[in-house]
Amino acid sequence: MTTIKHIASQAGVSVTTVSRALNGYSDVNAETRKKIEQVAKELNYSPNSLARSLVKNQSETLGLLVSGFNKESVKDGFTVEVMSGINSYIAETQYDLVLFNTDSSKQRKKTYTQLCKERRVDGVILQGIKTDDPYLEEVMESDIPCVFIDIPVSSKHVGYVSTDNVEGARNAVLHLLELGHRNIGMINGHKQAFVSKERLEGYKQALLEYGISFKDQLVKDGSFGEKEAYRETMSLLKEQPDVTSVFCASDLMAIGAISAAKQLNYCVPEDLSVVGYDDIPLSSYISPSLTTISQDKFALGYNAAEMLVKMLKYQQPPEQCILKTELKIRSSTSATS
């Protein structure tokens, strides 16, 4: 492995000069620089980023801490599309991305700060962690620049990007209300997700606008899983036969809900309208195609990466970025008869 020293002796200059030449400093003669560059190419030199990072005290790497990058999440498509957005932005910068795993039962159980401090990442993006995750606290305590996805917390060194979940859920339910539905169930995610809290709030708001009182027994938690949503929808429909429509906090759960409905011989949308949340690729392909709240998952990741990089490169303060959502009306909803 050729180093800066080899180049120095080969070119007959000092290591200092080689370093400065290769890094484009001005106090090196044009010819010397030429010579050095040529030698560097001949010796097939590439700088050791470890050594560089060590002395400069910054690694040019960003941490990506996603919880739940597994088989199920791949099917969902949400997590990976966000990752794809992050990746896309980062690809155009000088940074590299290192993947930290959290949800594993890994032996070396490290804390967030340990993870980051060891690898000396310049900043971190966190995705999919729960509200009761100890990492959350650690992030706030440490002073590593970071940005959250879908978790609205911020401080001097942490920002976030999310979508307007209250508004999104509200629009979903308003859509059902406008179609004449009055008994609207909800399959939510789980208690440890910020988005679930917000989407429930949106659900309540919409009902309120139509003067309908909120009934606790109409909402169930499906923990964002297809199977679980199937199960919960089953019991919802059995317990509450008056329900004519259901709002699901994710498309995957909506798919589970539709399966359940079909199992109970409901026709969708004739007997039961279903609206989802996310607009994953699957949603437009299934039948009936899914009415849903579309959020730009790619942009979620892209913006997060952009914010983080700007914080690092230009010392910009963290922001709170809220993206718009859009109601996509397809075939899983219809007016009440």
Is 250 a residue that touches a second copy (CB under 8 A)? no
Task: Name which of residues 50 to 79 contact a second copy (CB under 8 A).
Answer: 50-51, 53-54, 59, 61, 64, 69-71, 73-75, 77
Q: Applying CB under 7 A, which part among 7-15, 165-173, 179-187, 260-268 lies near DNA?
A: 7-15
Q: What angle do CA 187, 197, 281 make, to 5 degrees?
A: 55
- H or E element at residue 23: none
Minimum distance from residue 310 beta carbon to DNA (Å): 21
185: which 2 tokens? Answer: 């169930």
Among DNA, a second copy, none, what does residue 61 contact (CB within 5–8 Å per kind)?
a second copy
Phi, psi (rounded to 5 degrees) for 152: -80, 70
Residue with tokens 């700060």: 113
- Give the chain's end-to-end CA distance (angstroms, integer): 76
Q: Is position 41 an interface residue for a second copy (rule: CB under 8 A)?
A: no
Q: Which stretch binds DNA (CB under 7 A): 10-18, 289-297, 303-311, 319-327?
A: 10-18
The answer to whether residues 13 and 36 touch, using CB atoms and an 8 Å cutoff, is: yes
When binding is defined by CB under 8 A, the residue of 3, 32, 87, 320 that contacts a second copy is: 87
Residue 92: exposure state from Cβ atoms within 10 A (0-12, 13-18, ≥19): exposed
Q: Is there binding between residue 104 and a second copy (CB under 8 A)?
A: yes
Q: Is 61 in the site for DNA (CB under 7 A)?
A: no
| Closer by beta carbon to DNA, 46 or else 105 | 46
Find which of DNA, a second copy, none residue 335 binds, CB within 5 to 8 Å per kind. none
Choose the one of DNA, a second copy, none that binds residue 14, judging by a C-beta under 5 to 8 angstroms depending on kind.
DNA
- List CB contacts of 43: < 8 A, sequence separation 6 or more: 2, 6, 7, 10
Contact residue for DNA among 24, 37, 41, 48 (CB under 7 A): 48
Written as six digits, the tokens of 260 are 């359940």
What mask, x for binding a second copy by CB under 8 A, covers residues 297 to 336? -x--------------------------------------
From the list DNA, a second copy, none, pick the one residue 289 interacts with, judged by a Cβ distance below 5 to 8 Å according to partner type.
none
Residue 3 sits in the site that holds DNA (CB under 7 A) = yes
Residue 228 neighbours by CB under 8 Å, 6+ apart: 221, 222, 253, 256
Query: Among DNA, a second copy, none, what does residue 298 contact (CB within 5–8 Å per kind)?
Result: a second copy
Pick the closest to residue 218 from 199, 202, 248, 240 (CA basis).
Answer: 240
CB 312, min distance to DNA, A: 16
User: In Å, what is the CA distance from 63 to each residue of 144, 173, 197?
Assistant: 11, 37, 27
Report yes or no: 91 and 128 within 8 Å, Cβ to Cβ.
no
Closer residue to DNA in complex, CB, 71/108: 108
Residue 257 contact, options DNA, a second copy, none, Cβ 5-8 Å cut-off depending on partner type: none
Contact 112, 51 (CB under 8 A): no
The nearer residue to DNA, 17 or 294, going by C-beta atoms, is 17
Q: How buried is residue 217: exposed, middle or buried, by Cβ count under 10 Å (0-12/13-18/19+)?
A: exposed
Task: Mention every residue, 6+ apart, whose C-beta is less than 8 A from residue 45.
Answer: 2, 3, 4, 6, 7
Q: Which residues bind DNA (CB under 7 A)?
A: 1, 3-5, 12-17, 19-20, 22-23, 26-30, 32-33, 45, 47-48, 51-52, 54-57
Q: Which residues bind a second copy (CB under 8 A)?
A: 1, 44, 46-51, 53-54, 59, 61, 64, 69-71, 73-75, 77, 80-81, 83-84, 87-88, 90-92, 94, 96-101, 104, 106-108, 113-114, 117-120, 255, 281-282, 285-287, 298
